[in-house]
Amino acid sequence: MGAPLKIVPAATVSLEAFAAAFTDAFRGYYHTVSHDGASLARRVRLEQYDLANSLLAYDGREVVGVAALAVRGRRGWCAGFGIVPGSRGRGRGRGLMSALVARAREAGLRRLSLEVMAPNVAARRLYEWAGMSVTRDLLVLERAAARAGDEAAARGASITPRRARAAGEASAEELLAHYWRLHAEPPAWQRELASLLAADLRGLYFGPRARPRAYALTGRAPDGNTYVSDLAAAGAAEAEELCAALARTPGALRVVNEPEQSPFAAPLLRHGFAEVTRQHEMTMEL
Ligand SMILES: CC(C)(COP(=O)(O)OP(=O)(O)OC[C@H]1O[C@@H](n2cnc3c(N)ncnc32)[C@H](O)[C@@H]1OP(=O)(O)O)[C@@H](O)C(=O)NCCC(=O)NCCS
């Protein structure tokens, strides 16, 4: 097992140092997770990381692990968890996870959640050992850029459907006034209202502007991809109409962490989106 870990709050080091540790802890992961101070600051702002309760694990003077905790009210969300490659498989993950759960309890949180990629059996087992269980699956869906003609339109970054006359454009701020009325299935953490309000998004909607029946918000991320950050609808028919409209928008689109049982998942798959990966959302009461 090795010597006990020394656990310190992330707030005791610079954001750059925490970002470097985060990057090291995710080496060899399914996709590159690489942060610098600026990119981590963006996530802190969008996802409400709590740096006083996020943790760094040291073995002597070496950083061996990172556990990022985001907080909204009494809910906590583990925004990133990893052990540096040379220290894996020696109980470090268990030590850090125990410290994270204890810290979340001390901070007065009632619930802890996170996502784990479906193939990540090691992480899932660790979280189950800590008392977490899978509550639902979240899908990552992608629609590749369409024909060449659409590419030219995509450069304008417009999300106006080319043939859907009924859809209007409105600011995210205006449409988000209808957030609570139009979500039958609770969105994943990164797509909750607090994240959406902090992001730079644009919207399209169906129905009366004063009381839309459905809306979608999209935004361009620093990685160059256009993400659908919010999907909202009054019912199944409206969800279908919205997904059909998204299918007509030009350029590649990604929908991250759409709940499998949401009213949008099946229509998106019918309208040209493909599942590229899925995550298990895991939760525990504290
Ligand atoms: C997942 C990760 C955090 C586990 O940390 P670790 O220090 O290697 O884990 P531990 O040695 O404490 O092992 C704890 C438990 O995790 C599971 N586990 C760890 N490595 C595993 C592996 N290679 N295969 C299967 N299960 C594994 C086991 O259940 C293990 O308990 P056991 O040894 O009694 O079987 C680490 O592999 C990692 O950082 N991976 C890259 C980043 C990542 O995937 N983060 C999670 C994102 S959700």
Per-residue pLDDT tens digits for 172-186: 999 999 999 999 999
The answer, yes or no, to whether any atom of ligand 1 lies below 6 A from the CB of 120, is yes
pLDDT in tens, 5-56: 999 999 999 999 999 999 999 999 998 999 999 999 999 999 999 999 999 9
Decide: 219 and 226 in contact? Cβ < 8 Å. Answer: yes
**In the prediction, which pLDDT does 136 show?**
98
Whether residues 201 and 122 fall in one domain: no
**Residue 219 is part of a domain; what is its CATH number?**
3.40.630
The answer, yes or no, to whether any atom of ligand 1 lies below 6 A from the CB of 29, is yes
How far apart CA 278 and CA 210 sit, in angstroms, is 35
Using the 3D structure, point to which of 91, 111, 131 is the last residue of a domain.
Answer: 131
Domain count, the chain: 2
The answer, yes or no, to whether any atom of ligand 1 lies below 6 A from the CB of 33, is no
Supply the mean pLDDT for the chain: 92
Decide: 282 and 127 in contact? Cβ < 8 Å. Answer: yes
Residue 196 lies in a domain: yes
**In the prediction, which pLDDT does 124 show?**
98
Whether residues 150 and 265 fall in one domain: yes
Decide: 233 and 214 in contact? Cβ < 8 Å. Answer: yes
**Residue 33 is part of a domain; what is its CATH number?**
3.40.630.30
Mutate to test the pocket of ligand 1, among 1, 24, 26, 83 (most ligand atoms within 8 A of CB): 83
**In the prediction, which pLDDT does 160 show?**
47
Using the 3D structure, point to which of 84, 108, 131 is the last residue of a domain.
Answer: 131
pLDDT higher than threshold 60 for residue 232: yes
How far apart CA 24 and CA 13 sit, in angstroms, is 15
Q: Give just the sign of the alpha carbon dihedral 140, 180, 160, 229.
A: negative
Residue 1 lies in a domain: no
Residue 285 lies in a domain: no
Whether residues 70 and 195 fall in one domain: no
**In the prediction, which pLDDT does 81 show?**
98
Helices (H), 165-235: 172-175, 193-198
Q: Residue 100: how many CB atoms within 10 A of its CB?
A: 25
Using the 3D structure, point to which of 108, 131, 154 is the last residue of a domain.
Answer: 131
Whether residues 104 and 145 fall in one domain: no
**What Rg do the C-alpha atoms of the chain give, in angstroms?**
20
The answer, yes or no, to whether any atom of ligand 1 lies below 6 A from the CB of 124, is no
**In the prediction, which pLDDT does 3 show?**
74
User: Ligand 1: which residue has its CA nearest to atom 48?
Assistant: 116
CA of 270 to the centre of ligand 1 (A): 36
**In the prediction, which pLDDT does 146 show?**
62
Mean per-residue pLDDT for 250-265?
95
User: Ligand 1: which residue has its CA nearest to atom 16?
Assistant: 126
Mutate to test the pocket of ligand 1, among 90, 125, 140 (most ligand atoms within 8 A of CB): 125
CA of 223 to the centre of ligand 1 (A): 28
User: Ligand 1: which residue has its CA nearest to atom 40?
Assistant: 82
Amino acid letter, 145: A
Q: Which pLDDT band holds residue 189 (cuts at 50, 70, 90)?
A: very high
Domain of residue 107: give its range.
6-131
Residue 17 lies in a domain: yes
Whether residues 156 and 269 fall in one domain: yes
111 closest CA partner among 101, 121, 119, 120: 101
Residue 86 lies in a domain: yes
Q: Report the atom number in ligand 1 closest to the C-alpha of 91.
A: 12
Whether residues 145 and 249 fall in one domain: yes
CB burial string 15-27: b at 16+ within 10 A, e below: beebbbbbbbbbe
Q: Report the atom number in ligand 1 closest to the C-alpha of 94.
A: 12
pLDDT in tens, 96-121: 999 999 999 999 999 999 999 999 99
Strands (E), the chain: 6-9, 55-59, 62-72, 75-83, 111-117, 133-143, 168-171, 202-206, 214-220, 226-233, 253-259, 274-285
Residue 286 lies in a domain: no
